[in-house]
Structure 1
Amino acid sequence: MRIGELAARTGVSVRALRYYEEQHLLTSHRSPSGQRQYPDSAVDRVQLIQQLYAAGLPSKSIADLLPCVVDDEATPELLERLSAEQERIDSRISDLMNARDRLGTVIAAATANWRTGERCRR
């Protein structure tokens, strides 16, 4: 498939796909006319890259991780780094859950005040 189709199927911009190639996260083959061609498996790879970026991993970590996903091989050092990333994500999730709970408390108090005609205090 061509780059435009991959972009449409994944919801990722053409520019981002080119960036992924520059970072060695994604590869393409060139047609005789020079157009990028991707295998169908590129859709899953781009989705994985997006998930890892959303989790806060930098492109260097993603580039190191992708061969593990494809080849099922990992070094002890890489596993250690990935475990540290997982711990960082777990911590971030905990922080976000706490923020959500606090926001829920504020919403509940504001809703109760609104129903009774009171104003929120600053």
Structure 2
Amino acid sequence: MRIGEAAKRAGVSVRALRYYEEQGLLTSERSRGGQREYDEAAVDRVRFFQQLYAAGLPSRRIAELLPCVDTGTTTGEQRAMLTAERARIQQRVDELNAALARLDELIAAAEARRA
């Protein structure tokens, strides 16, 4: 599929796909006319990148993770990095859950006063 369709299906901009290629995170084939062509797996890969970006991982860290994703194997150093990133994300999730709980308390208190 061409770059515009891949971007649309992945929910990102065409510029984002070009950036991922510049960073070495994504590859494409070229048509005879020089246009980028992506396979179906590229869409899933970009969605995965978006999840990792949303979790706060920079493109440099994502690039370090790709060999693990592609091969399903890790070195001790990669496992340590994955474990550290997981712990960081879990801490953020815990903080967000605490914020949700507090908001729920405030909403419940406001509803009780209204009744």
Q: Normalising by the residue count of structure 2, what TM-score does the alignment of the two structures yield? A: 0.94
Uncovered stretches (5+) of structure 1, i.e. residues with no partner: 116-122
Aligned residues: 115
Residue 71 (structure 1) aligned with residue 61 (structure 2): no
- Which residue is equivalent to 2:98? 98
The Cα shift of 1:73 comes to 2.7
CA deviations over 1:90-117 (Å, ceiling 9, x no partner): 10111011100001111111111122xx
Supply the RMSD in Å over aligned alpha carbons.
1.1
Q: Which consecutive unaligned segments of at least 5 residues does structure 2 have?
A: none
Q: Which residue of 2 aligns with 1:36?
A: 36
**Aligned pairs (5 A) from 1:12-23:** 12-23=12-23
Higher normalized helix content (fraction of residues): 2
In 2, Cα distance between equivalents of 1:79 and 1:7: 31
Paired AA for residue 53 in structure 2: Y
Moved over 3 A (4+): none
Corresponding residue for residue 2 of structure 1 = 2
The TM-score, its normalising length taken from structure 1, stands at: 0.89
**96-105 or 68-77, larger mean C-alpha shift:** 68-77
What does residue 119 of structure 1 align with?
A: none
* Counterpart residue number, 2:83: 83
SS in structure 2 at match of 1:41: helix
Of structures 1 and 2, the larger Rg is shown by 1
Name the aligned partner's letter for residue 92 of structure 2.
Answer: R
